[in-house]
Amino acid sequence: MLLPTDRTYADVNVKQFIGNVNFFRNKCKNKKIIAVLKASCYGHGDRLAEFVYNNVDALGVATLDEGIRLRRFCPNIPILILGYVPFGSVFALDKYALSVSVFSLSYAQTLNAQAGKYGIKLKAHLKINSGMDRLGFSYDKEQDLISVLSLGNIIFEGIFSHYAASEKESPDFFLEQTRRFEYALNICRGLYDKFDFIHIANTSAADENSFGNTVRIGYGLYGYGLEEVTPVLNWKARVIQVHRANKGETVGYGRTYIVEKPALIATLAVGYGDGYPRIMSNCGKVIFNGKFLPVVGRVCMDMMMVNASGSGIKPGDYVTLLGSDNNLSISAEELGFGYEVLCGISPRVKKYYIT
Residues 180 and 63 in one domain: yes
Residues 207 and 270 in one domain: no
CATH number at residue 141: 3.20.20.10
Residues 63 and 211 in one domain: yes
pLDDT at 32: 98
**Which residue is catalytic, options 118, 121, 253, 350?**
253
Across the range 173-200, mean pLDDT stands at: 94
Domain end: 170, 197, 222, which one?
A: 222
pLDDT at 146: 96
pLDDT at 1: 53
Is residue 352 among the annotated active site residues?
A: no
> DSSP state, 321?
E
Domain end: 222, 245, 275, which one?
A: 222
- CA angle (125, 128, 134) in 5-degree steps: 110
Q: How far apart are CA 282 and CA 284, in angstroms?
A: 6
What's the mean pLDDT when you consider all of the chain?
A: 96
**Which residue is catalytic, options 9, 31, 32, 38?**
38
Q: What pLDDT digit, counting tens, does each position of 296-312 carry?
A: 999 999 999 999 999 99
pLDDT at 212: 96
pLDDT at 5: 80
Ramachandran assignment for 121, one of left (phi > 0), alpha (psi -120 to 50 degrees), beta (any other): beta
pLDDT band at 191 (very low <50, low <70, confident <90, very high): confident
Its domain, for residue 123, covers 14-222
Q: How far apart are CA 128 and CA 163, in angstroms?
A: 11
Residues 312 and 240 in one domain: yes
The count of domains in the chain is 2
Is residue 339 among the annotated active site residues?
A: no
pLDDT at 272 over 80: yes
Report the number of secondary-structure helices (H) and strands (E) in the chain: 9, 20
Least confident of 28-32, 192-196, 324-328: 192-196
- Concatenate the DSSP letters of all residues of 68-79 into one string: HHHHTT-TTS-E
Please report whether residue 344 resides in a domain.
Answer: no
Residues 187 and 87 in one domain: yes
pTM of the predicted model, to two decimals?
0.94
pLDDT at 194: 81
Across the range 162-177, mean pLDDT stands at: 96
Across the range 285-295, mean pLDDT stands at: 97
Cα 105 off chain centre by: 29
Across the range 39-44, mean pLDDT stands at: 98
Q: How far apart are CA 263 and CA 259, in angstroms?
A: 7
